[in-house]
Amino acid sequence: MPPPYDRLGRIAPPREGMPECGTPAQYAAVHSERLRARAEALPHLNFRAEPWPAPDGMAAVIYGGKWIVECPCGEIPMASPAWDEARCFECGAIYRRLALPADREAIEALLLQRPTAVTRTWLPGEPLDDLRAQNAAHGIGVAGVGAGRVEAG
Ligand SMILES: [Zn+2]
């Protein structure tokens, strides 16, 4: 079975990983409920029971076909550029006003030419030419070569 995001046709936001989080309001509600339920179930471990606002401007990264943020707690929660939000289900942090690249659509388009989600990774500051060169090195996006590999989307 292929990984779930190979044929998605876009870089995955949180609702792709958590279908019950189809709207920002549902995402917020599920986040709050899961934090509260874990804290109540395991009181001796002193988990935080409520979400909390992290500082603005956390960098959004593409890793394995997903938008993520690298939370200082060690978790890498999925991020939504459209909702401008990421919620950490480990420590409860809420990230808003994400630092997104100005050329986000071009980055996504180049990564979506790759056939598998695990190869779709971009780090802040990584130039488009690097992504093009990586694609070309694998026969992707070169005229007449790899044309069949472009995902519909
Ligand atoms: Zn966290």
| The three-state (H, E, C) secondary structure of 97-112, written as one string | CCECCCCHHHHHHHHH
Residues 54-113 have pLDDT tens digits of 999 999 999 999 999 999 999 999 999 999 999 999 999 999 999 999 999 999 999 999
One domain, residues 28 and 57:
yes
One domain, residues 91 and 108:
no
Q: How far is the CA of 68 from the centre of ligand 1 (A)?
A: 12
Asked if residue 18 has pLDDT above 80, the reply is yes
Q: How far is the CA of 126 from the centre of ligand 1 (A)?
A: 24
The DSSP code for 44 is G
Q: What is the pTM of this model?
A: 0.86
Residues 103-146 have pLDDT tens digits of 999 999 999 999 999 999 999 999 999 999 999 999 998 654 44
Q: How far is the CA of 34 from the centre of ligand 1 (A)?
A: 14
Residue 130's Cα: distance from chain center in Å?
20
One domain, residues 62 and 116:
no
Q: How far is the CA of 151 from the centre of ligand 1 (A)?
A: 33
The span from the CA of 134 to the CA of 58, in Å, is 26
CB count within 10 Å of CB 80 equals 21
Domain of 76 in residue numbering reads as 14-96
Length in residues, the chain:
153
